[in-house]
């Protein structure tokens, strides 16, 4: 089956041009989406992966319809390839059914891997520079007394989470982790007694 995927970023943009091109190509089904390409988890993309099967072909007007970031686009194309589905981009003239199309995809993957490695390297260099300047890295240590007060407030059932967070200065995430940890300890002690 030949399945088209058309996307625009905003609700007021029009999909007509893409749909026309996909119909002209011979797509039997077209999944349409109006959502930003900066987000990887999109309903239309999820639907596309639910619909495609090995031996199918996915067609887009341009690879930019899959997303904004090179790494995200390549990740999506690689997922499609892993499902033994062919990929065609009309604008870039990329067709993974051909040796040239496969070579283009491989070159893009090499560039994306280089980009990933450069990002990792820059992050490491930034962390090392921060350490040299004496900056303490990682989460700040939690004030145990404040956390204990927060837990007592929670257990009293007289305060909302918002009031506890504002009153103690403990983050909501830290409070929930402490509550969960305390519940696990109580359950473990109860199970040991039984």
For 6, the enclosing helix (H) or strand (E) is: strand 2-8
> Full-prediction pTM beyond 0.75?
no
9 is catalytic: yes
Q: Which of 192, 159, 140 is nearest to 179 (CA)?
A: 159
Structural domains for the chain: 2-111 (3.40.50.1390), 144-193 (no CATH)
What average pLDDT does this structure show over 145-170? Answer: 88
Predicted pLDDT at 194: 55
- Residue 193 clears pLDDT 70, i.e. is over it: no
What average pLDDT does this structure show over 34-52? Answer: 87
**Which tens digits make up the pLDDT trace of 88-107?**
999 888 899 999 988 888 88
What average pLDDT does this structure show over 129-152? Answer: 82
Predicted pLDDT at 192: 61
- Residue 182 clears pLDDT 70, i.e. is over it: yes
Which of 9, 64, 75, 171 is an active site residue?
9
First and final C-alpha spacing in the chain: 59
**Which tens digits make up the pLDDT trace of 2-11?**
999 999 988 8
């Amino acid at each position: 089956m030949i399945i088209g995927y058309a996307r625009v970023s905003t609700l007021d943009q029009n999909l007509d041009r893409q749909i026309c091109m996909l119909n002209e190509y011979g797509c039997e089904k077209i999944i349409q989406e109006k959502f930003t390409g900066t987000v990887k988890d999109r309903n239309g993309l999820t639907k596309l992966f639910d619909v495609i099967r090995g031996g199918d072909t996915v067609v887009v007007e341009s690879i930019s319809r899959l997303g904004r970031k090179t790494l995200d686009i390549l990740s999506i194309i690689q997922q499609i390839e892993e499902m033994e589905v062919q990929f065609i981009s009309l604008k870039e003239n990329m067709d993974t059914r051909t040796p040239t199309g496969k070579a283009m995809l491989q070159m893009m993957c090499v560039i994306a891997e280089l980009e990933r490695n450069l990002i990792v390297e820059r992050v490491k260099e930034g962390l090392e520079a921060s350490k040299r300047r004496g900056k303490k890295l990682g989460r700040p240590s939690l004030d145990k007394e404040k956390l204990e007060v927060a837990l007592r407030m929670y257990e009293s059932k007289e305060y909302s989470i918002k009031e506890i967070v504002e009153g103690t200065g403990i983050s909501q995430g830290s409070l929930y982790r402490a509550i969960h940890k305390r519940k696990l300890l109580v359950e473990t002690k109860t199970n040991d007694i039984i």
